[in-house]
Structure 1
Amino acid sequence: MDLFETSESDAETPRLGDGLHWPEVRGWLQTHPQTLLDDRSLLEEIGLRPHGRNVVEFGAAALTRLEAVVERETGARREIEMIARANFAAQTQTHVATLDLLEARNHSDLARRLDAAAQGRFGLAAAAIALEKPGGVPFGWRPLDPGAVDSLLGEHGLTWLGPAFEGLDLFGAAVAEVKSVALIRMAPHLTPGEPPRPSLCAFGSPDPEGFTPTMGCELAAFLARVVERMAERWPVLN
């Protein structure tokens, strides 16, 4: 006799031998599930994957977490790529601006070229060179009172980045456009036989978040060093 038989009255309902019907077997298995779970060989024969009694599958939840991790990593990778492209573009513009500065013919031309590079290559509102008195101040440079650099940057400060503030008279006609600034200390040797003179290389951004205290200013500092070395080419007589 076959294990499964079909009754004449109900051809769609399988019937087990010895008069057992599938609904009865199904109900018994529902009330005694551990009997089937403990029979690992039977489970393998009918194509089911057996698990231990304490194993709980989290397939869907794990997949959801994995998808979230992949999405975060993809977003982070895109952000890193965007930052890398922006940094590369800024470095390229810095190199080109450096070549422009190296073509300066005098102090006034140096200040003009710095301002033009800041606006044309970096989208800033202005750039300026400021020099403390006493002593001569080249045309196109901004004069500063003695001790002004230390008061702006601190006695040992090298840079200052943050919002524009009143009294910072460095950017001439563009002062109303400047919302944030980067100030870099310089100390060029401008007069033969005299000590270096405190000075500033200043950049003004039209964006309030253009320069912030947490921002790195390596490229701006690099341009300031170029300006400092270029300024030493021509003497400033007292």
Structure 2
Amino acid sequence: MSSTPELDQTLRDRILARPEDIIEDRDIMGALIAANDKAMGSNIVDLRGVAMERLEARLDRLEDAHRTVIAAAYENVAGTNLIHRATLRLLEEETFDGFLRALGSDVAKTLDVDFIKLVVETVRHEEEDPNIRRLGEVLKIVKPGFVADYIEGPRSSAERRVVLRHLSQAPERLYGSQAAAMRSEACLRLDFGSERLPGLLVLGSIDDDQFSPSQGTELLGFFGGMIERSMRRFLT
């Protein structure tokens, strides 16, 4: 007869009554498999055990991937809701100055950005125009070529609609006194029509991770499309 102590009868009865509880507990099953391997000795290869370990490793990877996909989906839904709220807020405005005020206040808060600037190119030097200054700090009038130079640089021929990037030193020509604090930005190129010069919407953040080249740009592209269509209405 075996000299191994008998299992407690109560515990034994519970295991026999509900064996699925043991099977579904990964820690217990792992301990049982390890005990079985130890009992077989080191000169025996348990192929079933090896296969089980590989399956467990694959299951862990699948679970990690599943959690990552779910987290990304929730983040995308949250981002979509923010863009929709900002869009609806701007569509409420019927005047250009009201549009700019909403952009610099409610929309900036909704999108959780620390800086927002609407850049418009013009052949006329209107920065000193009192009517322009009256519209506030959100609007910036620049000379032709500024948008392409700011987004891509003078040597690039690409015309990306949305550019996300980190900032080691934000340019004072756009950010002014806030330049030193900015760490990332989103640049949305705006098309005001075939006979008009382009524009640019810049969103800046003190958070280095808020805007990154690895992030998707579909939502910001949609938001930029709404901005440029609204501007066409105001520019008529």
When normalised by structure 2's length, the TM-score is 0.66
Displacement, 1:167? 2.4
Question: Aligned pair count?
Answer: 179
Counterpart for residue 82 of structure 1: 71
Counterpart for residue 50 of structure 2: 61
Greater Cα shift, 178-187 or 81-90? 178-187
CA distance in 1, matches of 2:106, 2:181: 17
Counterpart for residue 149 of structure 2: 151
Displacement, 1:230? 0.8
Contact map agreement 2:171 2:179 (CA 8 A) in 1 = no
Q: Give a deviation string over 1:112-157, Cα, whole Å, max 9, x none.
A: 3223345322322122210113235752311223211111233441
Return 5+ residue gaps in structure 2 as ranges: 2-43
CA distance in 2, matches of 1:161, 1:70: 35
CA distance in 1, matches of 2:235, 2:211: 32
**Structure-to-structure mapping, 1:1-238, within 5 angstroms:** 57-135=46-124, 136=126, 138=132, 139-140=135-136, 141-154=139-152, 155-158=157-160, 159-164=162-167, 165-167=169-171, 169-171=173-175, 174-189=178-193, 195-235=195-235
When normalised by structure 1's length, the TM-score is 0.66
Contact map agreement 2:201 2:224 (CA 8 A) in 1 = yes
CA distance in 1, matches of 2:166, 2:159: 17
CA distance in 1, matches of 2:89, 2:235: 21
Return 5+ residue gaps in structure 1 as ranges: 1-11, 13-54
Contact map agreement 2:120 2:142 (CA 8 A) in 1 = yes
Contact map agreement 1:130 1:144 (CA 8 A) in 2 = yes
Aligned residue for 2:116, secondary structure, equals: strand
Contact map agreement 2:117 2:140 (CA 8 A) in 1 = yes
Cα RMSD between the aligned structures?
2.5
Aligned residue for 1:162, secondary structure, equals: strand
**What percent identity do the matched residue pairs reach?**
26
Contact map agreement 1:182 1:203 (CA 8 A) in 2 = yes
Q: Which has the higher helix share?
A: 2
CA distance in 2, matches of 1:65, 1:182: 44
Aligned residue for 1:81, secondary structure, equals: helix
